[in-house]
């Protein structure tokens, strides 16, 4: 697809928060927040000629590897927010993208993401085959206070549940949609924390893809104000989550 004439290197998208995206306290669900962030990133990629459809011509797709979200406040039902995004870097098979969520002029959420180019036939990373020189990079323009990182999971995790991957967990790349990993973990978090305390930050590592029919175990541990989750298939860690309250 050619570059859209509306493309700009810093993109802004307006979203209206509706009731289907909100928890019982009227605040935006964490999973829906992640969806909005990724949809905004996807629209920017579409306009810039590096969308999923463009990359599929080369048997490639962007897959999310790491995501860090720092939260001052969550949007509420009926509110309108804007999400700004830009590319920090694209190097070989990896790209760092920043995002910010605004209520009016007030920034309420910051996010940094690390994406990897996946060959969808070979199911392994490879260098991006599409031109991206027209996308200005902003290596000094950071959104979050802390950078995305590899989560160090404690050793004393306890098993809290299991899950069998079903069709509704899959996305267009034919593997488990990354938001589903978070959804599975949050089902084992106290509703009191989700509704009344909230998260100051969320950090996620997507380590190995899961496919239809895979059987996984969820393990968790809490250290002070930090909670960790690990999703394992056959003892292999596929997803790590760290959140602070």
Asked if 164 contacts 213 with a C-beta cutoff of 8 angstroms, the reply is yes
Q: pTM, whole model, 2 decimals?
A: 0.94
Sketch the domain layout of the chain as residue ranges: 1-148, 150-245
Same fold, 1-148 and 150-245: yes
Angle of helix 178-186 relative to helix 30-47, nearest 10 degrees, comes to 170
Q: Catalogue the E-assigned strands of 72-122.
A: 80-91, 94-103, 106-119
pLDDT in tens, the chain (245 residues): 578 888 999 999 999 999 999 999 999 999 999 999 999 999 999 999 888 888 888 999 888 999 999 999 999 999 999 999 999 999 999 999 999 999 999 999 999 999 999 898 888 889 988 888 888 999 999 999 999 999 999 989 999 999 999 999 999 888 999 999 999 999 999 999 999 988 999 999 999 999 999 999 999 999 888 999 999 999 999 999 999 99
DSSP per-residue codes, 27-61: BBPHHHHHHHHHHHHHHHHHHTT-SHHHHHTTTEE
Q: Which residues contact 176 (CB under 8 A, 6 or more apart)?
A: 165, 169, 170, 209, 210, 211, 214
| CATH code for the structural domain at 150-245 | 3.10.129.10
Question: Domain 1-148 is classified in which CATH homologous superfamily?
Answer: Hotdog Thioesterase (3.10.129.10)
Distance CA 43, CA 10 (A): 12
């Amino acid at each position: 697809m050619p570059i859209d004439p509306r493309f700009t290197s810093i993109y802004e998208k307006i979203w209206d928060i509706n009731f289907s995206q909100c928890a019982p306290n009227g605040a935006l669900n964490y999973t829906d927040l992640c969806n909005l962030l990724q949809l905004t990133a996807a629209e920017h990629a579409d306009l810039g000629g590096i969308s999923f459809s463009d990359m599929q011509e080369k048997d490639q797709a962007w897959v999310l590897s790491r995501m860090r979200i720092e939260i001052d406040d969550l949007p509420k039902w009926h509110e309108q927010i804007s999400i700004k995004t830009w590319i920090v870097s694209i190097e070989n098979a990896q790209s760092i993208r920043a995002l910010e969520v605004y209520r009016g002029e007030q920034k309420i959420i910051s996010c940094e993401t690390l994406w990897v180019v996946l060959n969808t036939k070979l199911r392994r990373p490879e260098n991006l085959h599409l031109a991206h020189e027209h996308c200005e990079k902003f290596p000094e323009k950071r959104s979050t206070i802390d950078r995305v990182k590899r989560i160090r999971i404690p050793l004393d995790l306890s098993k809290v549940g299991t899950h069998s991957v079903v069709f509704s967990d899959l996305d267009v790349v034919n593997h488990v949609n990354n938001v589903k990993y978070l959804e599975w973990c949050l089902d084992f978090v106290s509703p009191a924390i989700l509704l009344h305390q909230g998260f100051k930050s969320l950090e996620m590592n997507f380590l190995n893809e899961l496919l239809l029919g895979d059987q996984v175990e969820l393990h968790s541990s809490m250290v002070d104000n930090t909670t960790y989750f690990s999703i394992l298939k056959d003892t292999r860690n596929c997803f790590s989550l760290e959140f602070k309250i």
